[in-house]
Structure 1
Amino acid sequence: MIALAVLVYGQTGSPMLAALAYGIGFLPQLAGGALLGALADRMRPRPLIWGAYALEACAAAVLGVADLPVAAALALVAAVACATPVFAGASNRLVAEVLDGDAYVMGRSLMGMASAAAQLLGLAFGGLAVAAVGARHALLASAAAHLLAALLVRLRLPDLPAPPAAAGGGRGSLVGDTWALNRRLLADPAVRALLLAQWLPPAFVAGAESLLVPYAGVRGYGGGTAALLLACSAGGMLLGNLAGARLLGPAARERLVVPLMAGFGLPLVPFVLPLPAAGAAALLLLCGCGFAYELGIQRPFVDALPADGRGQAFGLLSTGLMTSQGVGPVVLGGLAEVAPVGAVLACAGAATAATALCLRGALDRARRARPADLAEPIATP
């Protein structure tokens, strides 16, 4: 993401196009989730997961080797992104099937920490690679990393069977089943509130992060600083997940969802001021810590899902999350064309805090409606 954003910003000088390049892999997932989501509950998970990584490796290699026009490069990333909801649905369904109760929250926390650590190392390396060898060679390094991920999944993940409902047959068309279950999920007030809580705050924060490349340029921070700022956000997510999983019990995590969600956005408000690079890094670290609010949503969300459609439900979650994170950079990038970049970052933070307040009642009702015992011990998988 950082390499493509730098490449596009260097070619065009446009904050909006740089933000669009950062988020172009998100928005097209709407098509994949709307048309293909049921595949996550119909096919074996291993070919879905390793195939998605291999496809992303090919796209990154093409971007690094071919001198594509900006429009063609963005179109390529958008096309590949359509497969992501199916991959995400299959992988998250596996975790939900293997882990029960609070063990599932611990498992999701571990996945979140691993993802944040990977982003931390990847963005730091990406910033150094862009500065040292240029954006195109950094994209080739990304292609190699995706290829390694595909090989690891292909060789190490057991070739588990498709879900029992898929093996039993009796299903309708792929698109028809996908649409029917999506409508059913979105019609449930509890599921809808829990989905919005996982879609909207990351959309605002992703839009803010997409502007860190032009923000660093406006502030004169120097080359590679934008990647380090993004790494601070990922580092905060790592710390927040670790603290939330280890220091808070299940009930406390769910009670703190709204305060932590507000804390996910409020550190962005001071970006309206001319901050030094160290101050911006500290605020982004604090912002990332607020992402721990998602730990309190995991169990209520799983408990609210139909057992025979978990894969597609997680695909819908991924679709909305990625789509909103694609819309966020486009909208905020457009605002940055007519307003100071720092002011746009501050608006994103304020919108995140406002979302927490608006969803407070619906989230409380969803939490209280759950029959699960919050005091149950961690299950042994």
Structure 2
Amino acid sequence: MTTHPPTRRTTYREVLAERRFRLLFLTRAVAITADSLRISAFSVLVFSTTGSPLLSAVSFGAGFLPQMFGTVLLGSLADRLPPRALIAGGYLLESAAALALALLPLSVTADLALVALVALVTPVFHGASGRLVARWLTGDAYVLGRSLNSMASSVAQLAGLALGGAAVAALGTRQALAVGAALHLSAAVAARLGLPRLKADGEPSGSVAKAGLRGTAALLGARDPRRLLLAQWLPGAAAAGAEALIVAYAGQHHFAPGSYALLMACVPAGMLAGALVVGRLLRPSVRERLVAPLAAVTGLPLLAFAAGPGVGTSAVLLFCAGTGFAYALGLQRAFVDCVPAALQGQAFGLLHSGTMTLQGVGPACFGLLTAAAGTGTAMAAAGAATLLTAWWIAGWHTAAPA
């Protein structure tokens, strides 16, 4: 696939000057902080309750796996309903779910089912948000907007892990989940009050499920959208399998209490550094040439976990792996360009839900591998799988010369 990127670099200042994008950016950062807090606190709760690395990994990915089904059945709503109501409603639903985890005396199975149920509808909210970003930012501004979102995600994950670790230590796991519910509620209120009231682009007629199935089939049936979706899904799915095992790896290697939070923070810290360097310092054409090499960087450091490294070395390896996630910036412009306007909301929902779903499959698969090979070897296998996907991307992805 050959692309023709613009040569001029847009600045982050120009992107943030768009007030509507700035509000989406900030509310998303708050929501990701809440998500990170919930995921880490819930994973700790399940591991401390059951002592099972597999269930801990499944709890890490329980909010990811069902999202593809939600996209297929409900994804067309992202193009058919007003985006402000969808985005604010999504944050409100996440708040209610976190509050239920905190307050209701449910079994681990019921807690996992609740997280999975909410995950079914979240692609609709993310699709609406992605459609607005693509509407308000174009060209290289859109790519840098995605870069800013990636950096915000990394910072928010760090903040969520730090806040989650402090809240779990000071209040307990269920009370920490209540803190996450409050953060999601604040994002819902800000989105409802700050975003403009916009009409939906599509017509709310006909079967939602049939429209969702048709849209998904159209996106996955065309070569370029399918390749670009898979290229953004697969490396992260394998890497998430390793990330989901960090808590169990730290516990089985008898690291100091709280070290799991430090190790989990290294991945988003690396993502922040990678997005900043690749998004700000490299020309668009260079970003697009480096897609496959950067994807390989995501997996290569994970191979070293087969040797059972200590806390310090593990932290460095995870940071380096995180920097490789910047590979996705080189795919953003081509993805927007190849998606039909009538399916844009569903395409962004599919991109997000596919990412989340496969990041649920990854932890489950590599969690199963721990029973036979141990956590370190399973994390190294995740790195090898990431390298295979980078090799596949290199086989078809080319960029125009600068």
TM-score with structure 2 setting the length: 0.88
What is aligned with 2:171? 133
Residues 83-122 of structure 1: matches in 2 within 5 Å? 83-122=121-160
Q: Which residue number in structure 1 is paired with residue 111 of structure 2?
A: 73
Residues 80-124 of structure 1: per-residue CA shift (max 9 Å, x gap) = 111111011000010111111111101111111111111111112
Matched, 1:200 2:267: no
Contact 1:268 1:349 in 2 (8 A): yes
1:17, distance to aligned residue in structure 2 (A): 0.3
The residue matched to 2:206 in structure 1 has which SS? coil
Question: Which of 230, 234, 237 is residue 271 of structure 2 equivalent to?
Answer: 237
**How far apart in 1 are the matches of 2:257 and 2:99?**
24
Q: Secondary structure at the match of 1:82?
A: helix
Residues 193, 363 of structure 1: 8 Å contact kept: no
Identify the residue that residue 306 of structure 1 maps to in structure 2: 340
1:67, CA displacement in angstroms? 1.9
The unaligned stretches of length 5 or more in structure 1 are 369-373, 376-381
How far apart, CA to CA, are the structure 1 residues paired with 2:262 and 2:322? 13
Aligned residue identity for 1:6: V
Residue of structure 2 in register with 1:264 after alignment: 298
2:341 and 2:161 mapped to 1: Cα distance? 37
Deviations 1:321-353 (A, max 9, x none): 111011111111111122210000001011101
Percent identity among equivalent residues?
Answer: 53
Hey, what's the Cα distance between the residues in 2 that align with 1:26 and 1:274? 28
Q: Which of 177, 180, 184 is the aligned partner of 2:218?
A: 184
Shift of 1:128: 2.2
SS at match of 1:337: helix
SS of structure 2 residue aligned to 1:330: helix
Deviations 1:235-294 (A, max 9, x none): 111111111111101000000000000001111111111212111111111111100001
CA distance in 2, matches of 1:76, 1:272: 35
Which residue of structure 2 aligns with residue 379 of structure 1?
none
Runs of 4+ in 1 over 2 A off after TM superposition: 361-364
Shift of 1:216: 0.4
Q: Displacement of 1:131 after TM fit?
A: 2.4
Secondary structure at 2:309 match in 1 = coil
Match of 2:387 in 1: 353
Q: Which residue of 2 aligns with 1:226?
A: 260
Q: In the alignment, which residue of structure 1 is the partner of 2:281?
A: 247
Q: Match for residue 48 of structure 2?
A: 10
CA RMSD of aligned residues (A): 1.3
CA displacement at 1:362 relative to structure 2: 2.4
Q: Which residue of 1 aligns with 2:366?
A: 332
Q: Aligned residue pairs: how many?
A: 364
Q: Distance in 1 between matches of 2:314 and 2:352?
A: 29
- Between the aligned partners of 1:319 and 1:156, the Cα distance in structure 2 is 26
Which residue in 1 is equivalent to 2:184?
146
Counterpart secondary structure, 1:109:
helix
Q: Deviations over 1:58-91 (max 9, x none)?
A: 1111111122101000000000111111011000
Task: Tell me the CA shift for residue 172 of structure 1.
Answer: 3.3
